[in-house]
Amino acid sequence: MARTRRQRLGDFGEKAVTKVPCPQCKRESVLKQLPINFACADVICTFCGYLAQVKTRENNDIDSLPRYLLGAAWAPFKERMDSGIYFPLFIVTVDAERCRYSIQYLPADLQSPSMFVPRTPVQHLQSDQDGKASRSD
């Protein structure tokens, strides 16, 4: 099945993050994309096992952080959060032409539950061809 525009944007962000050194072991060229739909993480360090999430937003001002980011699977994320487990977060902001991008990093120890808002489960949404979601109920 063809990837949606939003999924392709996410793929771009994950590939961009694999070009930076691992924040934990500092080695270069060791961050790799995890398989699609891997729960709560998008990249892994093949040397030290470091895991992180990647969120990508499109904005022509690549130096400003987005006001919000769409979350992933809320149930497994909330279960980890309730247990005090957070994954570091890379925020990739890319221009519409995908010529320029910036990468911001938010370590796990700076995250708290107040930063996250529940998201409507995917099964309650239906997508159009461009990946825009709307309620089905």
> Which tokens is 69 given?
């980011």
> Beta-carbon neighbour count of residue 17 at 10 Å?
21
Indicate the pTM of the whole model.
Answer: 0.79
Tell me the C-alpha distance between 74 and 122, whole Å: 9
**What is the fold of 5-135?**
PvuII Endonuclease; Chain A (3.40.210)
From first to last of its 137 residues, the chain has per-residue pLDDT tens of: 798 998 999 999 999 999 999 999 999 999 999 998 888 899 999 999 999 999 999 998 998 887 777 766 677 778 888 888 889 999 999 999 999 999 999 999 998 887 777 766 655 544 444 444 443 33
> At 9, which helix (H) or strand (E)?
helix 5-17
Domain boundaries, the chain: 5-135
- Residue 8's closest CA among 92, 120, 65? 92
112 in Cβ contact with 119 (< 8 Å): no
